[in-house]
Structure 1
């Protein structure tokens, strides 16, 4: 992959000027992007591309294995071509909700791991709500409510969320750096680390808020038994 993922350095970028490197049908590849592709269980950004007062709707962003890069899928016909310089604009309300839910997910996972030794066995974050599956043997709704309450207390502490890079070997020595039961970080030399000091530290490539206070309040929606080691919490966040 050669596209520089600008959101990994600043998740609050709403606009960016980028050059098109390649066009394959309705798939656009850029030199840089602020659009987050669907990855790590977090949904993709949407938005628009602007060139010469024409707007092109970006409806999906993903990592295309055949191309080996992030592609931006535009809706309908277009006249974009390699070499064009365009403005990227993301749907900020959608992105910000995903960021809040994503950081909330890290806090929930940290409390669940710390207090109950449970790892994440599945999950998804969309604009409307998120869910996480945990490696719990017993189905206990009170346990989940306890975790949510403790997570909300952490959120209220307004802790700065830090993002930095570490060599892979050094990062993997940190206890609890991986909280996914069956997934290791990508096999790359440098890992992006998201740390909530005193609460959580994980290898993670997605967008996050800068301060836990921005999350608001985690609201549990539903608690479901999905089978052995798959106890699921559906939740959202509100201001």
Structure 2
């Protein structure tokens, strides 16, 4: 099992690690990593691994078996040997973009309080698909509401509940297509705002900013018809 350092500190950009496995597909497994593994619509992280006598560009990270996180190289080349100590460095600008977009999409699900049927996250834009038979009446109003919440600079807090607690509160899950991962006995929640200022609470395993003000201004770039009952809403960072 790989210790997911990003889960405790998504702002960490470097760390050491030890190679515990090399996969048949050419991936590397470390005992701990700062690289987020692709999941929940969020891409895997990229960056570099350095070891004595070698360097590898990490194209992405994916989930392996038994809790392992597999780092995939950008191109064929030398690999560190089993037991080697490596220095991990994250492509921070790309990761921070994912964090800003991911948190903004949580807020989008607040201003559009409809079931979510899908989603995708990029470094400068993202989208959610909603069960929305009719298009929104005024996209500009939704964009204004979204940016108003962002500028409130609300705290983004991570906490944990048991799987039994989630079963007792099924309304916490907004996504119809993706359910929170089970089997570990607990579920990670992301809360935006506190007390009377709380605006959102939902299960999520991704990385997020600490406060909504870090997102910056966003633009609702388009709303597309994706079927009889579905609309795709895309947002992008304004700067």
TM-score between the two structures when normalised by the length of structure 2: 0.91
Within 1, Cα distance between the matches of 2:15 and 2:177?
35
Shift of 1:79: 3.2
- Indicate conservation of the 8 Å contact 2:19/2:29, yes or no: yes
Unaligned 5+ residue runs, structure 1? none
Out of 153, 156, 160, the residue aligned to residue 155 of structure 2 is: 160
SS at match of 1:48: strand
> Any conservation in 1 of the 2:118–2:177 contact (CA below 8 Å)?
no
Structure 1 residue aligned with 2:181: 186
Distance change in 2, residues 1:202/1:87 (3 Å): same
Q: After the TM superposition, which residues 28-177 of structure 1 pair with which residues of structure 2 at under 5 Å, given as runs?
A: 28-52=28-52, 54-64=54-64, 69-74=68-73, 75-113=75-113, 118-140=114-136, 142=138, 144-174=139-169, 176-177=171-172
The count of corresponding residues between Structure 1 and Structure 2 is 232
> 2:40 touches 2:178 (CA, 8 Å); kept in 1?
no
Q: CA deviation at 1:54?
A: 2.8
CA-based RMSD: 1.7
Q: Aligned pair 1:9/2:5, yes or no?
A: no
Report the 3-state secondary structure (helix = DSSP H, G, I; strand = E; otherwise coil) of the residue aligned with 1:166. Answer: strand
Normalized against structure 1, the TM-score is what? 0.91
Q: In 2, Cα distance between the equivalents of 1:84 and 1:206?
A: 28
> Are the counterparts in 2 of residues 141 and 223 from structure 1 also a CA contact under 8 Å?
no
Q: State the distance in 1 between where 2:37 and 2:129 align.
A: 22
Corresponding residue for 1:223? Answer: 223
